[in-house]
A and B are shown apart, each in its own frame.
Chain A
Amino acid sequence: MKISYNWLKNYIDLNPLEHSPEILAEVLPLLGFDVEEYEKLGPPPLEHVVVGQVVEFAQHPDADRLRCCKVITGEGEMARDIVCGAKNFQQGDKVMVALPGAVLPGDFKIKASKLRGQPSEGMLCSAKELKIGQDHDGIMIIDPDVSLGTPLNALYADGDTVFDLEITPNRVDVLSHIGVARELAAKFGLAVKYPEVAASRQNEREGDPLLSGVKVSADGVCPHYTAICIKGVRVGPSPKWLKAAIEATGQRSINNVVDVTNYVLHETCQPLHAFDAAKIRGGQLEVRMASEGESITTLDEVKRALRADMAVIADGERPLVVAGIMGSLDAEVDAGTQDIVLEAAYFDPGSVRATARSLGLSSDSSYRFERGVDPLGVVYASLRAVDLILQVAGGRVDGDMIEVGAEPPTISEVTLYPERLRQFIGFEVSDENIQSVLESLGLAVAVHDASDGRARWEVSIPSYRQDLQRDVDLIEEFIRVYGTEKIPESPVVARGISDEDHRIYSVNESVAHYLTGQNFDEAFLYSLRDPEETKFFFGEASHAVLALDNPLQSDQSHLRPSLIPGLLDVLKLNAARATGATRFFERGHVYREVKGQMVELISVGFVIVADTVKREWRQRELADFYTARTIAAEILGIAGTAANKLSFEPITECRLWQPGHAAEAGDFTKMGYQATAGLLNLATLKERWDLDTAVIAGSVLMTPQFFERKAKRGRHTGVSNQPATARDLALIVDQSLLAGTVQQAIAKFAKKATQGFDCERVEIFDVYEGSGLPEGKKSLAVSMRFRANDRTLKDKEVNAAFEAIQKLIAEKTDYQIRK
């Protein structure tokens, strides 16, 4: 919100030394009103810009839009020729002249030259060109009393400064010059001078009343409505002070009446509305809910459909104002207006907000009503506006103020224990100190002694500070004005013993350090992905469940079910930029559909380019399924699942993974975890990512609930120090049979076949397919290791067990033992 330094001076005595604009720009943020920027208005120091007079002018012979003027800048001087594009001046008008040698803002150098063949020795300037105001429609016309040759900077000695303040939503009262003045007064110990209003004017009525009545049927939206009628105003341009004030707030001056309503809004924070009384059909106003199907063309010239939950101010026929938000073109005050009706009201913040939101329409009024204006400030603002209208536009008040409803209730007192304030802030301040800070804000303190000896204060709250409802709100007021820079510095006090970190964090931390140790770089990717991709990889059900209700971008409409597609984007980008990078991982949350519901999961994903991407003098072995399987298992191991509990099963049909070259273990819906590892689908990589390389990847999913399990502590069971004996066996089995199945079968037989000692390990150590074997068969070499706890095993007993195992194989399976 824009606040003018000059305007503030109407309410507080700002001393140019102690309260200069520069000082205010430092102080305001520390009071809680951040200064986004501040700008000096008025002309910068400009030489060779002086007041001149147009003694005569004529149409430019070769340009319709130009005039050739004769201008003098001193009595009896020779007139100089100046060509000008503006038309808003008459012969004899005094104007601002930039003479050759002047340098205007924007490094615009003025030189004697010719314009379309006519000599021009200078320029007649607009307010905007001189940074005096917003006006760019024509050149500045200067008061005829100003003497010729007066330099611009002498004429505008008191340039204004405008602060653009960021006001937090709790401080509606500061959305006004009086509000800001009050804050500065509190900080600097100044007195606030409120403009006096002529409350007891004799308001005779003459002739027919402008309004036969005001009816409020939407009293939930409008608890308090006032209207004052003024007859015989002369609508016209605003005087200089009013225009300057309006322009300082970043608006354009419209006419004296409308400018006054805007002025009072920016002065008091109370929005007002002026109707052209002649345009109120039926002579009656009603605050009512709109009917379905009604529409209004607001001042911004947009026709808007209204709904039954929106309040309007209407005449007998049509809505004239969207209540608290914006008026219509139909009842606008314009040059022909003679009589006006001035509205000041309190509108319910929630309704104004809801209406403004549904209409997508925000105004200075709605912005303030939404935040809750001073419930007791309506009448004052109305009377203030009346005074100003009479001052700048003439006219007379016709009859008394029409008032419907009553001021809404306000909070008037809050209890504060000064001792609690000291406890809360943690350092000593005296009662007197606290009291004087609160009183500087207009909060009156009544000191009571509570029965237990603690001082209890009843603090009166002004009606414009309805944000102050609890003792903590008063504590905030104290610290804000007392100054946060006075909070002492102190050492950090760390009391007690800290808790354990959440396991999701500590596991993630270990996983990241493990993976960087495995040469992976960490990537961070967006959680929102393309809808088509979601459908392509995870199907219709996921596509339906993972959709956002209100995506911003159509290619970021779905929550990601997997980290892998994002990581492929990273590989693609790095490949395109030839960075040579081949290994990435990400830790992040992913989302899955389970039985029509969404589940949020903790995930780790990694990708490895399994192709030679650059020429190297020595090539290491490329990653394969087993690389990814180990890494995936290790990640789950860090999270607390023993690697030997994982049983991987091949993936047979999948668009993301390459069937037959990737496998999956676990099931997050049952066990809380799931791991997938192996080769990514080659066709998909080529098609969707334009990647020609093979990519080995792994993805681990864990439910947040999985991390709530307590890690098991290991327990010593003793290890044998006796020598081990090994036996190997070659088995011919179906090519499709999984090694794990064979291993498990042999381990089971070995357990059965050994007594008094153990077969401690059964391992597949060789796989052979090819010549010498029947079609569709492969050979698996199995090693078994036997050991006893208490003695060296004798060959005889090991042989017996080995025989028994082979017998079991022959009996229970169709594996052939290769002799």
Chain B
Amino acid sequence: MQAELNTIVAQVGEKASSITTRAEFEAFKATISGPKGSLTEVMKGMGAVPKEDKPAMGKLINEAKTAVQAIFDAVLEGLEAAEMAARLGPPIDPTLPPPDAGRGTLHPIAQVREEMVNLFRRIGFSVAEATEVETEHYCFDALNIPADHPARDMQDSYYLPDTLKVANVSQHAEEKYLLRTHTSTVQIRTMLEAKPPIRIVAPGRCFRRDTPDATHSANFHQIEGLYVDQNVTLLDLKATLDHFVKTIFGAKAKTRLRPSFFPFTEPSFEMDFFSPDLGKLSNKWLEIMGCGMVDPEVFKAVGIDPGVYTGYAFGMGIERIAMILQGVDDIRYYYQNDVRFLKQFA
């Protein structure tokens, strides 16, 4: 019997090395420890063993069983390891180009717009919106731009035909529709709806009838700011815009307010800034926005009492700021959308 057991253990040991699949293993295992397996048969023979030999024989059988089990365990472990390896496949090559596209990029103008809007949000402004199609009243009259002002010349604005109606843009009377030439229209629409205090920024698309070149585009973007309340002062205007310039262009930037003229503000200024860190544009005064104190005529047009409220307003071209910040020298690049251009701002 001992010989039989030794043979079985040796046989298992021999066969084990050639088992490569789990099915093979189960089948082989059955020939050893299954109901009709060779080891099971030997164990069945225990009944015939004389009583005095039983402890010795039992010990031998147990030893054989342990040995077989150890081999089985090892085989199983080997199989599992092989299966795992098969599931994993070959190790990755981290240097192959990933087949998935990466995160997309916000358009460079949108990035600058977002940066500017967020800056103003942090100091209490919120975003206002209005349509791009407007009427002469909201684009000009209410902003104190008289009917014969040069800005209203046909060559400056895109008009819509007289007979046209725009279902979701309200007219004041029967005045003409046009594509807004500035975001100052949002000032008017907002002041007509809300009561002071009003603190808004309005980013948006504008249109001018300009021949396209490196600095002119049929459509472009502006951000308008408006703050109306009791006791809003010129000092506040300067503080806000200084903060804007220093945040966007760095603490070393200097500003100046150059007196100017806009029909909708009085006094009116152009703000220039000067920075040592702008490459080719360093160390010269660059004009970046128009601003001023809201003209009383504008308040009258929207039913706000200029005797009680004062306000400031400012407006700037987003492309202009983006071009300075991003070193872009032709506005048309922004509208071509060559992905190699866009990704430079990722």
Contact (A527, B259) CB under 8 Å given A426-B234, A498-B126, A597-B166: no
Q: Does A170 contact B (CB under 8 A)?
A: yes
**Out of B126, B197, B235, which one reaches A488, CB within 8 Å?**
B235
Q: Which residue of A lies closest to B114 (CB)?
A: A509
Q: A527 to B207, Cβ gap below 8 A? A: yes
Q: Does B150 contact A (CB under 8 A)?
A: yes
Q: B337 to A584, Cβ gap below 8 A? A: yes
Chain A residues lying within 8 Å of B167, measured Cβ to Cβ, are 594, 597-599
Q: Does B222 contact A (CB under 8 A)?
A: no
Q: B337 to A34, Cβ gap below 8 A? A: no
**Out of B100, B219, B242, which one reaches A526, CB within 8 Å?**
B219
Q: How large is the interface on B (under 10, 10 to 19, 20 to 34, 35 or more residues)?
A: 35 or more
Q: A598 to B165, Cβ gap below 8 A? A: yes
Q: Does B96 contact A (CB under 8 A)?
A: yes
Chain B residues lying within 8 Å of A492, measured Cβ to Cβ, are 123, 236, 239-240, 243
Q: Does A475 contact B (CB under 8 A)?
A: yes
Contact (A552, B218) CB under 8 Å given A32-B260, A475-B267, A522-B342: yes
Least Cβ–Cβ distance between B341 and chain A, in angstroms: 9
Q: A617 to B236, Cβ gap below 8 A? A: no
Q: A516 to B104, Cβ gap below 8 A? A: yes
Most buried by A among B150, B158, B259, B334: B259
Alpha-carbon distance A516/B111, docked complex (angstroms): 12
Contact (A591, B133) CB under 8 Å given A424-B310, A425-B235, A501-B126: yes
Contact bitstring B165-177, A, C-beta under 8 A = 1, else 0 = 1111100000000
Q: A599 to B124, Cβ gap below 8 A? A: no
**Out of B99, B123, B126, B296, which one reaches A617, CB within 8 Å?**
B99
Q: A579 to B339, Cβ gap below 8 A? A: yes
Least Cβ–Cβ distance between B221 and chain A, in angstroms: 8
Alpha-carbon distance A568/B228, docked complex (angstroms): 44
Least Cβ–Cβ distance between B136 and chain A, in angstroms: 12
Chain B residues lying within 8 Å of A577, measured Cβ to Cβ, are 338, 340
Q: Does A402 contact B (CB under 8 A)?
A: no
Contact (A519, B269) CB under 8 Å given A426-B235, A599-B166: no
Q: Does A502 contact B (CB under 8 A)?
A: yes
**Out of A168, A350, A427, A550, which one reaches B158, CB within 8 Å?**
A550
**Out of A494, A502, A506, A580, which one reaches B123, CB within 8 Å?**
A494
Q: A484 to B269, Cβ gap below 8 A? A: yes
Contact (A570, B96) CB under 8 Å given A496-B124, A509-B114, A522-B105: no
Least Cβ–Cβ distance between A548 and chain B, in angstroms: 5
Q: A480 to B267, Cβ gap below 8 A? A: yes
Chain B residues lying within 8 Å of A31, measured Cβ to Cβ, are 259
**Contact residues of A between 483 and 530, Cβ < 8 Å to B:** 484-485, 487-502, 504-506, 509, 512, 515-528
Least Cβ–Cβ distance between A621 and chain B, in angstroms: 11
Chain A residues lying within 8 Å of B18, measured Cβ to Cβ, are none
Chain B residues lying within 8 Å of A506, measured Cβ to Cβ, are 127
Q: Which residue of A lies closest to B147 (CB)?
A: A350
Chain B residues lying within 8 Å of A596, measured Cβ to Cβ, are 165
Contact bitstring A583-616, B, C-beta under 8 A = 1, else 0 = 1110011010010111110000000000000001
Chain B residues lying within 8 Å of A620, measured Cβ to Cβ, are 99-100
Q: Does B256 contact A (CB under 8 A)?
A: yes
**Out of B100, B218, B239, B296, which one reaches A490, CB within 8 Å?**
B239
Contact (A169, B337) CB under 8 Å given A34-B258, A509-B114, A547-B161: no
Q: Does A710 contact B (CB under 8 A)?
A: no
Alpha-carbon distance A574/B343, docked complex (angstroms): 13
**Contact residues of B between 245 and 287, Cβ < 8 Å to A:** 256-261, 266-270
Least Cβ–Cβ distance between B37 and chain A, in angstroms: 40
Q: A552 to B166, Cβ gap below 8 A? A: no
Least Cβ–Cβ distance between A592 and chain B, in angstroms: 10
Contact bitstring B112-128, A, C-beta under 8 A = 1, else 0 = 00100100010111111
Contact (A484, B124) CB under 8 Å given A489-B242, A545-B164: no
Least Cβ–Cβ distance between A689 and chain B, in angstroms: 14
Chain A residues lying within 8 Å of B97, measured Cβ to Cβ, are 616-617
Chain B residues lying within 8 Å of A430, measured Cβ to Cβ, are none
Alpha-carbon distance A552/B219, docked complex (angstroms): 12
Chain B residues lying within 8 Å of A497, measured Cβ to Cβ, are 124
Alpha-carbon distance A600/B239, docked complex (angstroms): 37
Q: Does A143 contact B (CB under 8 A)?
A: no
Q: Which residue of B lies closest to A570 (CB)?
A: B337
**Out of B104, B131, B266, which one reaches A704, CB within 8 Å?**
B131
Q: Does B159 contact A (CB under 8 A)?
A: yes
Q: A589 to B131, Cβ gap below 8 A? A: yes
Chain A residues lying within 8 Å of B182, measured Cβ to Cβ, are none
Contact bitstring A316-339, B, C-beta under 8 A = 1, else 0 = 000000000000000000000000
**Out of B154, B203, B231, B239, which one reaches A489, CB within 8 Å?**
B239
Q: B267 to A476, Cβ gap below 8 A? A: yes
Q: Does A573 contact B (CB under 8 A)?
A: yes
Alpha-carbon distance A502/B295, docked complex (angstroms): 25
Alpha-carbon distance A497/B310, docked complex (angstroms): 19
Chain A residues lying within 8 Å of B88, measured Cβ to Cβ, are none
Q: A704 to B168, Cβ gap below 8 A? A: yes
Alpha-carbon distance A581/B105, docked complex (angstroms): 12
Q: Does B199 contact A (CB under 8 A)?
A: yes
Chain A residues lying within 8 Å of B124, measured Cβ to Cβ, are 494-498
Q: B269 to A522, Cβ gap below 8 A? A: no
Contact (A425, B104) CB under 8 Å given A353-B148, A485-B256, A509-B114: no
Q: A619 to B99, Cβ gap below 8 A? A: yes
Q: Does B50 contact A (CB under 8 A)?
A: no
Contact bitstring B223-246, A, C-beta under 8 A = 1, else 0 = 000000101011110111011000
Alpha-carbon distance A785/B68, docked complex (angstroms): 49
Alpha-carbon distance A144/B313, docked complex (angstroms): 63
Q: Does B110 contact A (CB under 8 A)?
A: yes
Least Cβ–Cβ distance between A646 and chain B, in angstroms: 23
Q: A597 to B165, Cβ gap below 8 A? A: yes
Q: Does A556 contact B (CB under 8 A)?
A: yes
Q: B338 to A579, Cβ gap below 8 A? A: yes
Q: Does B209 contact A (CB under 8 A)?
A: yes
**Out of A169, A520, A547, which one reaches B104, CB within 8 Å?**
A520
**Out of A498, A520, A580, which one reaches B199, CB within 8 Å?**
A498
**Out of B105, B129, B161, which one reaches A516, CB within 8 Å?**
B105
Contact (A522, B110) CB under 8 Å given A32-B260, A171-B261, A496-B124: yes
Q: Which residue of A lies closest to B271 (CB)?
A: A484
**Contact residues of A between 167 and 219, Cβ < 8 Å to B:** 168-171
Contact (A525, B337) CB under 8 Å given A350-B148, A480-B259, A515-B104: yes
Alpha-carbon distance A349/B150, docked complex (angstroms): 13
* Known A168-B260, A519-B101; further 18 A-B contacts with Cβ < 8 A: A31-B259, A32-B258, A353-B148, A426-B233, A476-B267, A476-B268, A484-B269, A490-B239, A492-B123, A506-B127, A522-B104, A522-B342, A523-B337, A526-B335, A545-B164, A548-B179, A596-B165, A600-B169
- Closest A-B pairs by Cβ, 5 of them: A426-B233, A426-B235, A168-B261, A32-B259, A476-B267
Query: Could you jot down 25 A-B contacts, CB within 8 Å?
Result: A32-B258, A349-B148, A426-B236, A476-B266, A476-B268, A489-B242, A505-B203, A509-B114, A516-B105, A517-B104, A521-B343, A522-B106, A524-B107, A547-B161, A550-B159, A559-B133, A579-B338, A579-B339, A588-B205, A589-B205, A597-B164, A598-B160, A616-B97, A617-B96, A705-B168
List residues of chain A with CB under 8 Å of any chain B CB.
29-32, 34, 168-171, 349-350, 353-354, 357, 423-427, 470, 472-473, 475-476, 479-480, 484-485, 487-502, 504-506, 509, 512, 515-528, 545, 547-553, 556, 559, 570, 573-574, 577, 579-585, 588-589, 591, 594, 596-600, 616-620, 703-705
